[in-house]
Amino acid sequence: MSFTLAEKILREHIVKDACKNTEIPFDKPIKRGSDIAIRIDQTLTQDATGTMAYLQFETIGIPRVKTELSVSYIDHNTLQTDYRNMDDHRYLQSIAAKYGLYFSRPGNGICHQVHLERFGIPGKTLLGSDSHTPTGGGIGMIAIGAGGLDVAVAMGGGAFHLAMPKIFGVKLSGKLQKGVGAKDIILEVLRQESVKGGVGAIYEYFGEGISNLTVPQRATITNMGAELGATCSIFPSDETTKAFLEAMGRGSAWTEKKPDENAVYDKIIEIDLDKLSSLAACPHSPDAIKTIESLAGKKVEQVVIGSCTNSSLDDLTAVAAIVDGKHIAPGVEAGIAPGSRTTMLMAEKCGVLGKLIKAGFRILESACGPCIGMGFAPNSQGVTLRTFNRNFKGRSGTSDASVYLVSPETAACAAITGFITDPKTIDFTKPVKDGISMLSGNAAGLSCEDIKAIASDDGMIIPPLNSEDAAKIEIIRGPNIKPCPKSPACAPSLKIPVLLKAKDNVSTDDIMPAGTKVLPLRSNIPEISKFTLERLDTTFYERAIKCQEEQKNLPETEKGCIIVGGENYGQGSSREHAALAPMYLGVRCVLVKSFARIHKANLINYGIIPVTFKNSSDYDLINTGDILEIINIKEALETGSDFKIQVNGKEITGENTLDERSRKILISGGLAVYTRNGGQ
Ligand code: MIC
Ligand code: SF4
């Protein structure tokens, strides 16, 4: 039997005991959608999700992480306007020392970029408490984003459960033309597939076109596969991967990983790179794709190069080639945030950084920064071109700004002209000499020795302590770190009000915004809950508190509230605060047309019941303020039957899409209790 690469790696990691009820046939593909459990080799966390993940990990009560490697990164909350973010950094550093993790210090770079450079290994599994963890697919890993609690369980040696994804093939042919970047490939996939096209699927890239793509280019594509809603994306590990790992001083981590010949995909998308043109995701969705040609001439006020999608040396070099000897247009402010300290040092060594500074780029630190609204917000009603992956309304920090997601090449052209400009109309020399990564060659002007010397300097990564020294470490807990609230017990039935009715594609940024004001509260659920759903309804928090007060003396079955939503509810980030804060405010059930994968898992983990409309037209029968009665919660969770719901005198059906384990977790009152009680 021939298998795809993704299925091969998943099969190698199946934990048989944890998926007893699932058939894993040796001669045919695993049934799509069936519950599988996989062993996790590596984990990563970042500081904005990490504090909650480690607070949960501490309650599991094991002395040391059980993975092959776990890394705690500081990259999100680096704008320190008071004590709170640094308090969190110190907590995380002490946790890493105590429990056997690597600690990547602030300034070392964005978790996904650093992990690719320093730790990723082809064929391994990686689970990260960040939705862009699939970046690791650029070197042939099965790298999946998840909520912090799932990552805590994996660090404790538990398997990761997921529905066996469909595997979609993306066949690339030809070669990118001058001025067209890897970003344009993933924007083209988003154009074809939409932000919900990848839910329940893995995208596997193949075809002769991939040999022309460097590892950082591949990582741009697998990174932004998150915006498809996909479980992850993957490229084979080939000679290009080998060259990249060798350049990083990690050649021994390489093995070849490829699909079997004649592997069968659940569907195939074909992209001819010769014909691809420059694209942009227009406000306010990563799948609102238009050609740059059609947008050309639009005035631009801000340009930012960076984020985990496009901040490699390849990207910086492409920008430098375009802006070399020129100046940023007078009407534009431009910034650049190199993805890692390694990238920054290499850019400095080969002169790329100097060219950018000369052109007028403001050099931002190696961190997430403007991508998550941590500084560099655009002007009011501003047009900003960013090489990032998300452009949800308000995420930049300016609610009426228009954010266009573009390639570094397109961003660079706008920076010097002041208008959206098609790179093919600009005169510059394309820096890539051949198909092999610039990092292993010298197109950026670096010798292999230079690159190796810079890359292998892990001075900003603190390695794990031995068990004896680790045991002596005291955990540092500043006043900003508050315990994680407990999930409610499961009620047999519920008769509670609909507190909010939302539309399609509600993102976790809508449910729990980020940015300078809110991010420092990530370790303090009571405080952060005040911002719940404020982008959709500024009265939500007050109404939720009022509802809790009014229900104080009612029986448990009449306490709480419901959120109703449309398609793809909870798209975007892995932040479990988008489940935790609503849970804290009394949300007991979310009833929608469809869910995004990670958010649905987070709801289950925190004891909120995710239900989908059997008939999506029933959505129209419900309004904010209606009382909804779910008659058979206990029975539905025990047997898997559908949910019987009464509203406005009508009976509607809520589809029970929960696998057996998820139902058990909900009956237990959340994953933490389920795990403590010995559940797998
Ligand atoms: C994001 O890009 O939205 C984030 C911030 O990296 C999130 C994680 C978080 O909210 O902390 C993600 O992508 O998962
Ligand atoms: Fe950081 Fe932005 Fe990447 Fe999220 S998408 S990890 S905020 S750079």
In residues, how long is the chain?
680
Which DSSP symbol is given to 483?
P
Residues 6+ apart with CB under 8 A from 473: 94, 97, 98, 465
CB of 110 closer than 6 angstroms to any ligand 2 atom: yes
Residue range 105-127: mean pLDDT, rounded = 98
CB of 575 closer than 6 angstroms to any ligand 1 atom: yes
Say if CB 110 and CB 74 are below 8 A apart.
Answer: no
Residue range 221-237: mean pLDDT, rounded = 98
pLDDT-derived band of residue 434, with 50, 70 and 90 as boundaries? very low
11 by DSSP, 3-state: which? helix
Which residues are bridge partners to 566 per DSSP?
none
Task: Find where tokens 């994680």 sit.
Answer: 484
CB of 599 closer than 6 angstroms to any ligand 1 atom: no
CB of 305 closer than 6 angstroms to any ligand 2 atom: no
- The alpha carbon of 86 is separated from its chain's Cα centroid by a whole number of angstroms, namely 23
Q: Encoding tokens for residue 327?
A: 């100046």
Residue range 344-361: mean pLDDT, rounded = 95
The CA distance from 546 to 525, in Å, is 18
650-659: pLDDT as tens digits: 999 999 999 9
The CA distance from 634 to 490, in Å, is 8
Task: Tell me the CA–centroid distance for residue 573 and ligand 2, in Å.
Answer: 9
The CA distance from 402 to 292, in Å, is 15
The CA distance from 113 to 343, in Å, is 9
Q: Is the pLDDT of residue 440 over 80?
A: no
The CA distance from 18 to 248, in Å, is 36
The CA distance from 627 to 307, in Å, is 43
Q: What is the 3-state secondary structure (H, E, C) of 327-350?
A: CCCCCCEEEECCCEHHHHHHHHHC
Strands (DSSP E) contained in 408-530 are 461-462, 494-501
pLDDT-derived band of residue 418, with 50, 70 and 90 as boundaries? very high
pLDDT-derived band of residue 432, with 50, 70 and 90 as boundaries? low
The pTM of the full predicted model, rounded to 2 decimals, is 0.97
Task: Tell me the CA–centroid distance for residue 368 and ligand 1, in Å.
Answer: 9
508-545: pLDDT as tens digits: 999 999 999 999 999 999 999 999 999 999 999 999 99
Which pLDDT does position 444 carry in this prediction? 61
Q: How crowded is the C-beta side of 668, counted as CA atoms within 13 Å?
A: 20
Q: Is the pLDDT of residue 437 over 90?
A: no
The protein residue whose alpha carbon is closest to atom 6 in ligand 1 is 130
Task: Tell me the CA–centroid distance for residue 575 and ligand 1, in Å.
Answer: 6
pLDDT-derived band of residue 639, with 50, 70 and 90 as boundaries? very high
Residue range 389-403: mean pLDDT, rounded = 98
CB of 371 closer than 6 angstroms to any ligand 2 atom: yes
pLDDT-derived band of residue 441, with 50, 70 and 90 as boundaries? very low
Strands (DSSP E) contained in 264-361 are 267-272, 279-281, 289-291, 302-305, 333-336
- Mean of pLDDT over the chain: 95
Rg for the chain (alpha carbons), in Å?
Answer: 24
Task: Tell me the CA–centroid distance for residue 48 and ligand 1, in Å.
Answer: 8
What is the pairing mode between strands 289-291 and 69-73? unpaired
Q: Is the pLDDT of residue 442 over 80?
A: no
Task: Find where tokens 């501003």 sit.
Answer: 382
Handedness of CA 376, 402, 189, 595 (dihedral sign): positive
CB of 75 closer than 6 angstroms to any ligand 1 atom: no
